[in-house]
Structure 1
Amino acid sequence: MPGSDNSKAPIPTALVGFDWQADLELITTAAREAGRVALSFFGQSPEVWWKNEGQSPVSAADYAANLSLETVLRRARPSYGWLSEETDDDPSRLDCDTLFVIDPIDGTRAFIAGKNTWCVSVAVVHKGRPVAGVLVAPALDEEFAAVLDGQASRNGAAIRVSLAPSDGPLKIACAQDMIAGFQPAIRSRIERVEHVPSLAYRLALVADGRIDATLVKRNSHDWDLAAADLILSCAGGSLTDLAGEPLVYNRPDVTHSVLLAATNQVLPALLQSLTPIARS
């Protein structure tokens, strides 16, 4: 529920007996190696192609990092499904209770431009819910991680969301045109954060208390969100749709509508403040 602290929620009975900590250790090792692979291309003008009718760039670094992850993870967990931005979607993933959800480089545009705000995003999703997640941002020397019912961390140290005052300024990362989607009482409190190209890293900034919220435009994907969603939840925040509902992963359609991520303290007020403009 919006406004509640899910970080201490009991593990559902269906999840008892699974060693998600072992999976976290596995994906962390794999993500670090993929980060090293990607970093070897960073600033070296890697070859770039365009996909989705020329809307999205993909570089040689994306493919190399994806191959690194796939080689390690599919060998270690052959029964797990696979969903990656840089692998053709295999509908058989829908038959898997557990799968890896991968973005080998989240923030490819930043990567290509030589900006350091990109990361490797790896999650384990079980029955629609992230249960282990890691973000490795090698150009920033940062690593975020969480496991179900655990504490989110940055570089091994526990992190928590900010304690934003109920009536004070709110640091919100969103596109300039989305600010108009908030009612005036909230809009006047917003301190807009400069664009953060990686959506996963932006969510991690909320988890780390550096910003209070982010409003996400429609058409984000499972691979942008799954790892960061868990990290945010374990840090005392939530990522929801505009009805306040948590996200379900590994559906036939892996895209999402407009989303809001925030500390649990301010999420209800932000959701109530959103106008039809923001919801369209």
Structure 2
Amino acid sequence: MNATPAADWTEDLALIRDAARQAGEIALGFFGNAPEVWWKNEGRSPVSAADFAANDRLQNLLLKARPHYGWLSEETDDDAARLDVETLFVVDPIDGTRAFINGEKTWCVSVAVVHRGSPVAGVLYAPALAEEFYAAAQTPAYKNGVVISVSSEKPGSVRQIAVAEDMLGRFSSEFRATLNRIRHVPSLAYRLAMVADGRIDGTVVKRNSHDWDLAAADLILERAGGRLVDLDASRLIYNRREVQHEILCGGAEHVLDSLVRGLRAG
């Protein structure tokens, strides 16, 4: 990460944790109650009344507290002014809207503070699961107040990987034999949190993910001992003009290089 080592982001972390909890409780009020749903991106992506309500709460709370910060959210029209600030909030009010609409609990509020292109504070709040993941640039990663870490290598064991069926086919048959593909989790941020707390070893992210899907989870994964990288094995840079990303891999060190090499060769 490129954050200034001397910076203390714990106050910002406390701020975004409180905001995420408030937004999560608002979203939870809609959960299971058939909120109104619209479709965007030519009908490919759903957005619900809960997304907009949670987004409004986050924007009001966070920009009131830090009016000099920029803003990037999935549910707010992009403003190029964010490119002129060093620090901004990067927000997905409900990551996993499809799961939310379908009554699945694996959705979360994702909020990050990004400074000079790197996340320096991040929180993922999953109210339907009563789970909160969070970290700052100089803290461990936590889940519900307990320090978490990625999985350790166990020689001969099968690696637990979240990967789409069409991406799995890019790996060699020998490598696929060492993997167990887990059931699909619609929330990308939550999948990365599962890697951070060691429930799974890694995940492959298909192209066209966005800053708001990734920033908070990226930091949490890093502080838990893992990494999120592109196929050049490079860390991500946030708050660029284009906020979409190509194929990515996130994981514990014992599996990450194999995932990257396998996809590059496929």
Task: Classify the TM-score, shorter chain.
Answer: over 0.9
Partner of 1:38: 27
| 2:179 pairs with 1:190 | yes
Matched, 1:15 2:4: yes
SS at match of 2:111: strand
Q: For the aligned residues, what is the CA RMSD?
A: 1.3
Would the alpha carbon gap of residues 15 and 26 (structure 1) be closer, same or farther in structure 2, given more than 3 Å must change? same
- TM-score normalised by the chain length of structure 1: 0.92
Residues 186 and 270, structure 1, Cα contact 8 Å, conserved in 2: no
Gaps of 5+ in 2: none
Q: Residue type of the partner of 2:33?
A: Q
2:190 to 201, 215, 233: 201
TM-score (norm 2): 0.97
Asked if 1:241 is matched to 2:265, the reply is: no
Equivalents in 1 of 2:259, 2:29: separation in Å? 41
Name the CA distance, whole Å, in 2 between partners of 1:233 and 1:166.
23
What 5-or-longer segments of structure 1 have no aligned partner? Answer: 1-5, 7-11
**Residue 231 of structure 2 contacts residue 264 of structure 2 at CA under 8 Å; is this kept in 1?**
no
Higher-RCO chain (CA-CA 8 Å, sequence separation at least 6): 1
Return the alpha-carbon distance in structure 1 between the equivalents of residues 18 and 12 of structure 2.
Answer: 10
C-alpha contact (below 8 Å) 2:26/2:50 kept by paired residues: yes
- Contact between 1:182 and 1:275, CA under 8 Å: does it hold in 2? no
Of residues 75, 94, 97, the one that matches 2:64 is 75
What is the number of equivalent residue pairs in this alignment? 266
Shift of 1:258: 0.3
Q: Distance in 2 between matches of 1:202 and 1:16?
A: 28
How far apart in 2 are the matches of 1:275 and 1:184?
15
Instruction: Name the aligned partner's letter for residue 54 of structure 1.
Output: G
Q: State the partner residue of 1:85.
A: 74
Partner residue in 2 for 1:9: none
1:1-280 counterparts in 2 under 5 A? 15-277=4-266
Give the ranges of 4+ consecutive aligned residues of structure 1 lying more than 6 Å apart after TM superposition. none
Supply the AA of the counterpart residue of 2:263: L
CA distance in 1, matches of 2:155, 2:91: 36
Is the partner of 2:83 in helix, strand or coil?
Answer: helix
- 1:81–1:92: 8 Å Cα contact kept in structure 2? yes
Contact persistence 2:8–2:138 (CA under 8 A): no
Q: Percent identity?
A: 61
Deviations 1:21-65 (A, max 9, x none): 000000000000000000000001000111111111000000000
* 1:18 Cα deviation from its structure 2 partner: 3.0
Shift of 1:189: 0.7
Q: Deviations over 1:116-146 (max 9, x none)?
A: 1100000000000000000000000000000
Contact kept in structure 2, 1:183 and 1:274, CA below 8 Å: no
